[in-house]
Amino acid sequence: MQDFAISPTSWPSDISGSNVVSGFLSGYLVASPLVLQNVVELATQYPSCRIVATGHSLGGSRASLFVADLTLRYPKLTPRVYLYTYGQAKCGNQVFSQYMDTLGVPIFREVNRGDIAPHLPFENENPYVHFGTEAWVNLSNQTVFCKTGEYGHCSASLSPTAYNLADHSTYKGL
């Protein structure tokens, strides 16, 4: 049900005007204290290791929230953080997206062909946008890369009639 709770909620409090999808955030907040504690302990124990956050679909959105939270609470860890998502829905507004894009964290979102999930929630229903670099495996199975502001050349170039649920469950390697 959390996937369908798309009302905007103000978060994180450190970023004025930032809003994220309420349902995505509620699940993240349940797990975040333990996850943050464990990641910080491991990062301290292994100072030369990268911190890679990843997830598919809702997990990708929550991995993004984790990266925002971690970098705000532990800014010294930011240079070690990487974010890779697959079929991630839009999880924040323009302010949140701008914050994510200015972190200096490598952010890659893979979109498989006509996967509908990365287009949700639909633009006319809410203020949510993507961030980072999109790696779109297009309908010809070629990978096209687009950064924020260039998404019209990637999966956003598809007509909504090309969106489908089947492509959401056929990411290579997942």
Please state the domain extents for the chain: 2-169
Residue 119 near residue 160 (C-beta atoms within 8 A): yes
Q: Is the pLDDT of residue 1 over 80?
A: no
Residue 102 identity (one-letter amino acid) = T
CA gap 73, 138 in Å, rounded: 37
Q: Is the pLDDT of residue 2 over 60?
A: no
pLDDT-above-90 percentage for the chain: 84
Average pLDDT over residues 156-161: 92
pLDDT, residue 173, reads: 83
Q: Looking at the DSSP assignment, which residues form a beta bridge with residue 81? A: 51
Average pLDDT over residues 18-44: 95
CATH architecture, range 2-169? 3-Layer(aba) Sandwich (3.40)
| Helices within 74-158 (DSSP H only) | 94-102
Q: What is the pTM of this model?
A: 0.94
pLDDT, residue 20, reads: 95
Residue-wise pLDDT for 52-101, tens only, equals 999 999 999 999 999 999 999 999 999 999 999 999 999 999 999 999 99
Residue 18 near residue 96 (C-beta atoms within 8 A): yes
Q: Is the pLDDT of residue 39 over 90?
A: yes
Written as six digits, the tokens of 28 are 């993240």
Residue 51 near residue 38 (C-beta atoms within 8 A): no
Please give the positions annotated as active site: 57, 115, 168
Average pLDDT over residues 3-30: 90
pLDDT, residue 153, reads: 84
Q: Decide which of 3 and 51 is more confident.
A: 51
> Collapsing DSSP states into helix, strand and coil, what is residue 109?
strand
Q: Is the pLDDT of residue 3 over 60?
A: no
Residue 81 near residue 70 (C-beta atoms within 8 A): yes
Residue-wise pLDDT for 90-149, tens only, equals 999 999 999 999 999 999 999 999 999 999 887 655 689 999 999 999 999 999 999 877
